[in-house]
């Protein structure tokens, strides 16, 4: 049915605004050299090659190890070399280092393939297969088989092998694009792969390969916030994890109650919180607020949420005068071999420091210059030396260290004014003396576990005790077991340098290690429930939603007699916040992991935990990077582990911005129709399709919602013109009857 011309003219600007970007993104991606390694199985054993140096003979051997590739037709796998000629290898037969989630390609997918609010949606990546297109191979036009209702696209990586042809041809909505990955990669100065990501309903083909071998990895892309009906509810889930509730709501409530109490700091004041964790620093504390973890992050966010201005300071205590302390913001350039009595004056002058307490003229008196009321203990410290922890678990990383001068959070609560419905905070920029301590007290050196003069009295003041009690840190680790598919227990490795170690001191550490360039594993923590365990159990509050980057670091083998005494992990960068250790289910006795933090100790015996599982499982433990830990002696067997470094990966992701709604004159309304520009997999219902929308379909849906409209998705049926049926029928769901006579079908749909 045609529409009036005047209506067509009115809708034309709206139609033109539905601009669909090309339904794909392509380019090249530079990768570390060892990421081009491939381990694979043949009938005669395992093989290894590197795609940057692979010879024609090595690639031919890889092609010979592949099966003949089939394709889907009428819901069946079909072998037809007139339509597709290529080799394929399923994931259980090969291993490679590339994890797209750890590369820039995921940001390219978010920025270029997805739109607006789809950009930050969680994406699950699934390695699907390896393909080899040798000379004479091709794949005619097709669309990818939807593996699930949540699948929205595919990612193809093309290795830098010498070949001609094999161009990817993409077609959608009457448009055509071509991507010659061989040419694109050839132009790069560093080892690179070609990549293309496209929506799953987009037609594409691989042109004839004229020479060489075109080798690709294909990944399926899923929206991970959609639970498809055909997917298992739990996959790769953690079997046994102790679940501890976050204490952030308790602290927030307690702090709010304290601040609303007119008797709490009636004249204002400063509250001090000694940090519960250590953080890697260089010259200043500028980046530390982003790195706070556990209860440190809870306290910081609570005060920020109340529009207060917490500040981090270093705190130095004189070795000569035990009670003389100064706070400062930056590490100064001082001659630390000089007399201690000259350090504090220079800190005040060069590091913008200020005294919080000093001795008076009488050696038995102290002068609280800027009084601080401490809610939690201050970490003991006595010098400004850049003193490292003596033993680190990873190899040395220059210029990054854990400060022995532990920073102390000073929270400025100046001139707190109470009213019935508001809490107002003054804007003083610098601390000043708000009240004086009275009396004098003999000052003695503060020992570990004791409280110094400016910390507490013998008992915590009643007004501060509820606040201190609310700061109850979770254990700084999470451990348990996790069931995995059988191929995840396979390890591919080369024997070269298998047991090389950087620190050869077997009185402190006796173990073998293998760097990542020498082995491959199919375990990708990002594709398991381990990431959720880290977010839900190790992290707190808003930290649970922060983006995390996971980096495979090394493999360790502890055989009989091996051990590793107490150490903390080397901070590889400022953004590193923790470690993840996976323990394979090998038969061994001993090798328990012992963790210590702030005077407490925990033990995790992974061998015992895994032995109790009925299905193949690994043990896992994840902990903050400043937690001291050791591996007890292995009494028998071999303890084999994978270690991953955990980093904050805060990347600003783009979101759609919509201007304020334009005023629209009152009218009687009507209905707009937007034909979907993509195809979506459905079974028995279309109720879930709005969650799967992509490209301009998703843009139209969201903008209609923002303007207060209620968009709906319908099926459209149009009868065969031979029967004279010109009307269209709008269906809210799939009908229960099958194909039949068009005339009768139309009547049935109306009914």
Burial 254-276 (b: 16+ CB within 10 A, else e): bbeebbeeeebbeebbbbbbbbb
Contacts of residue 75, defined as CB under 8 A and 6 or more positions apart, other chains included, come to none
Asked which of 121-135, 138-152, 644-658, 664-678 is least confident by mean pLDDT, the reply is: 644-658
**Highest mean pLDDT out of 442-451, 547-556, 664-673, 731-740:** 547-556
How far apart, in whole angstroms, are the C-alpha atoms of residue 312 and residue 326? Answer: 13
- Residue pair 627/602 in contact (Cβ under 8 Å)? The answer is no
| Averaged pLDDT of the chain | 73
- Residue pair 371/455 in contact (Cβ under 8 Å)? The answer is no
- Residue pair 270/327 in contact (Cβ under 8 Å)? The answer is no
Confidence of residue 425 (pLDDT cuts 50, 70, 90): very low
Which of 599, 343, 593 lies closest to 447 in space, CA to CA? 599
**Domains delineated in the chain:** 20-231 (2.60.120.620), 248-470 (no CATH), 477-648 (2.60.120), 654-750 (no CATH)
Q: Give the other-Cβ count within 10 Å of 575's Cβ.
A: 17
CA 95, 97, 102, 106 dihedral sign is: negative
Asked if residue 744 has pLDDT above 60, the reply is no
How far apart, in whole angstroms, are the C-alpha atoms of residue 646 and residue 622? Answer: 9
pLDDT mean over 527-556: 86
- Residue pair 527/124 in contact (Cβ under 8 Å)? The answer is yes
**Burial bucket for residue 646 (CB in 10 Å: 0-12, 13-18, 19+):** buried
Asked if residue 593 has pLDDT above 50, the reply is yes
Q: Which residues pair with 219 in a beta bridge?
A: 127, 155
pLDDT mean over 330-348: 59
How far apart, in whole angstroms, are the C-alpha atoms of residue 411 and residue 408? Answer: 10
How far apart, in whole angstroms, are the C-alpha atoms of residue 15 and residue 94? Answer: 48
What pLDDT shows up at residue 371? Answer: 66
What are residue 13's phi and psi, to 5 degrees?
A: -60, -35
How far apart, in whole angstroms, are the C-alpha atoms of residue 747 and residue 643? Answer: 65
Asked which of 60-64, 212-216, 486-490, 640-644 is least confident by mean pLDDT, the reply is: 486-490
- Residue pair 113/73 in contact (Cβ under 8 Å)? The answer is no
Confidence of residue 427 (pLDDT cuts 50, 70, 90): very low
What pLDDT shows up at residue 379? Answer: 56
C-alpha to C-alpha distances, 368 to 36, 146, 322, 360, 636, nearest whole angstrom = 63, 70, 13, 9, 59
How far apart, in whole angstroms, are the C-alpha atoms of residue 648 and residue 664? Answer: 45
What pLDDT shows up at residue 112? Answer: 84
SS (H, E, C) 633-688: CEEEEEEEEEEEEEEECCCCCCCCCCCCCCCCCCCCCCCCCCCCCCCCCCCCCCCC
* Token output for 385: 């030396």
Q: Where are the beta strands (DSSP E) in 512-616?
A: 512-515, 519-521, 548-559, 563-567, 576-583, 588-590, 593-597, 600-604
Strands 269-274 and 373-376: parallel
Q: pLDDT per residue over 392-412, tens digit each?
A: 455 544 444 444 444 555 554
pTM: 0.66
**Highest mean pLDDT out of 325-334, 512-521, 676-685, 724-733:** 512-521
């Amino acid at each position: 049915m045609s529409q009036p011309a005047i209506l067509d003219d009115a809708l034309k600007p709206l139609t033109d605004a539905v601009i669909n970007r090309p339904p794909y993104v392509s380019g090249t991606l530079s990768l570390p050299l060892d990421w081009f390694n491939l381990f694979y199985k043949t009938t005669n054993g395992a093989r290894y090659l590197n795609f940057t140096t692979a010879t024609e003979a090595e690639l031919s051997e890889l092609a010979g190890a592949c099966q003949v590739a089939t394709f889907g037709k009428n819901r069946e796998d079909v072998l037809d070399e007139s339509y597709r000629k290529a080799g394929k290898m399923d994931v259980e037969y090969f291993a490679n280092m590339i994890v797209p989630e750890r590369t820039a390609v995921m940001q390219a997918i978010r920025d270029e393939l997805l739109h607006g609010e789809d950009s930050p949606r969680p994406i699950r990546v699934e390695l699907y297969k390896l393909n080899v297109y040798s000379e004479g191979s091709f794949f005619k036009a097709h669309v990818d088989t939807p593996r699930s209702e949540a699948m929205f696209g595919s990612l193809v990586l093309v290795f830098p092998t010498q070949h001609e042809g094999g161009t990817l041809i993409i077609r959608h909505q009457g448009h055509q694009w071509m991507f010659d990955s061989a040419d694109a990669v050839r132009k790069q100065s560093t080892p690179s792969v070609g990549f293309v990501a496209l929506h799953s309903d987009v037609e594409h083909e691989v042109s004839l390969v004229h020479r060489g071998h075109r080798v690709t990895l294909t990944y399926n892309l899923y929206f991970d916030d959609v639970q498809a009906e055909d997917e298992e509810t739990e996959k790769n889930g953690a079997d046994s994890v102790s679940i501890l509730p976050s204490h952030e709501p308790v602290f927030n409530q307690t702090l709010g109650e304290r601040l609303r109490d007119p008797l709490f700091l009636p004249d204002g004041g400063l509250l001090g919180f000694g940090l519960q964790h250590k953080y890697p620093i260089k010259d200043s504390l500028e980046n530390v607020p982003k790195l706070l973890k556990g209860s440190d992050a809870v306290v910081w966010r609570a005060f920020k949420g109340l529009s207060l201005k917490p500040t981090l300071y270093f705190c130095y205590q004189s070795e000569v005068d035990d009670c003389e302390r100064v706070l400062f913001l930056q590490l100064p350039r001082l001659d630390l071999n000089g007399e201690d009595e000259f350090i504090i004056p220079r800190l005040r002058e060069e590091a913008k420091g200020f005294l919080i307490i000093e001795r008076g003229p009488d050696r038995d008196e102290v002068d609280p210059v800027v009084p601080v009321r401490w809610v939690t203990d201050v970490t003991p410290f006595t010098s400004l030396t850049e003193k490292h922890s003596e033993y680190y678990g990873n190899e040395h990383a220059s210029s990054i260290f854990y400060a022995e001068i532990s920073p102390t959070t000073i929270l400025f609560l100046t001139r707190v004014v109470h009213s019935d419905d508001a809490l107002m905070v003054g804007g003083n920029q610098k601390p000043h003396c708000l009240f004086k301590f009275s009396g004098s007290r003999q000052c003695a050196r503060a020992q570990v576990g004791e409280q110094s003069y400016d910390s507490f009295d013998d008992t915590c003041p009643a007004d501060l005790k509820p606040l201190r009690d609310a700061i109850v840190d979770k254990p700084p680790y999470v451990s348990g077991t996790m069931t995995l598919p059988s191929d995840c227990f396979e390890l591919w490795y080369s024997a070269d340098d298998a047991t090389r170690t950087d620190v050869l001191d077997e009185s402190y550490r006796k173990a073998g290690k293998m760097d990542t360039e020498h082995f491959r594993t199919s375990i990708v923590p990002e594709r398991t429930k381990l990431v959720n365990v880290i977010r839900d159990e190790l992290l707190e509050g808003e930290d649970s939603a922060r983006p995390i980057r996971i980096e495979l670091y090394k493999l360790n083998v502890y055989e009989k007699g091996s051990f590793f005494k107490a150490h903390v992990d080397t901070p590889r960068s400022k953004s590193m916040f923790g470690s993840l250790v996976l323990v394979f289910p090998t038969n061994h006795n001993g090798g328990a992991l012992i963790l210590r933090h702030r005077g407490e100790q925990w033990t995790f015996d992974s061998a015992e935990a895994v032995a109790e599982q009925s299905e193949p499982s690994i043990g896992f433990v994840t902990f903050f990077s400043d937690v001291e830990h050791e591996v007890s002696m292995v009494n028998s067997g071999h303890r084999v582990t994978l270690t991953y470094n955990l980093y904050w990966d805060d990347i600003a992701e783009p979101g759609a911005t919509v201007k304020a709604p334009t005023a629209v004159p009152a009218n009687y309304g009507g209905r707009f129709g937007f034909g979907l520009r993509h195809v979506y997999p459905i079974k028995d219902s279309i109720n879930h399709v709005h969650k799967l929308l992509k490209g301009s379909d998703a843009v139209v849906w969201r903008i209609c919602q923002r303007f207060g409209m209620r968009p709906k998705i319908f099926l459209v049926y149009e009868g065969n013109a031979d029967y004279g049926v010109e009307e269209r029928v709008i269906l809210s769901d799939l009908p229960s009857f099958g194909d039949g006579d068009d005339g009768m079908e139309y009547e049935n749909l109306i009914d």
